[in-house]
Amino acid sequence: MPAKKNWLIVTSMVKVVITTDRAAVRLFERQVKLYEEKGAYRRLFRPQMVLETVMSAFHDLTLTGLDGQELPLAPFAGQVLLVVNVASKCGLTPQYAGLENLYQHYRAQGFHVLGLPCNQFAGQEPGTDDEISQFCSLTYGVNFPLSSKLEVNGPNRHQLYRLLAGEGAEFPGDITWNFEKFLIGPDGRVLARFSPRTTLEDPALIEAVESALAALPAA
């Protein structure tokens, strides 16, 4: 049987993605067009950056954002991403400030943060999507994307967390509490996992982020 051919996409933003999945190609093209139309391109991509990566199962996923719109992970291919399950009424909630600071400090280098609200730990994320959005914006000035509430453990565990922490994952095991952190590389692989109490100023976390960014192709 002949091997699948790689499909090469060149968009008007001078982005290149290599993938073996036609569906992933179409998804990426639609998302590029969407972000161009919304003027959000500069928030998610570094200008003139070339993405040379195989689309992973992680980047194939599409979540639902707090605004009810689709939140595809495809635009994060070729970037470094910190994925965090968050909650508004937790003793660790002030970590939102550290997440936003980290995002702002490294975003120009290709770093992003994705917040995933979850109400599985002591019911500490009870609000609606609108309430969560307002809380994050007004209290911590959050600018990074957040999904609608999802489950990170148990039989209804979201597919994203099956990839991050399920059987066969790089760092398997149930999520222990709010604000557990996964550092995702440009190819969708988990590079590191940090406990909920690891602060965003922790030297080990900072070193992991900087090492991942240093490995990205030059813009």
Would you kindly state where each structural domain of the chain is located, as residue ranges? 64-214
Q: What residues are labeled active site?
A: 90
**Residue of higher predicted confidence among 17 and 95:** 95
> Model confidence over 107-161: pLDDT tens digits?
999 999 999 999 999 999 999 999 999 999 999 999 999 999 999 999 999 999 9
Q: Kindly list the distances between the CA atom of residue 120 and the CA atoms of 151, 162, 186, in Å, as whole numbers in the listed order.
A: 7, 16, 29
The CATH superfamily of 64-214 is Glutaredoxin (3.40.30.10)
* Average pLDDT, rounded, for the chain: 84
Confidence of residue 6 (pLDDT cuts 50, 70, 90): very low
Its pTM surpasses 0.95: no
* Contact assessment for residue 73 and residue 61, using Cβ atoms and an 8 Å cutoff: yes
> Model confidence over 167-200: pLDDT tens digits?
999 999 999 999 999 999 999 999 999 999 999 9
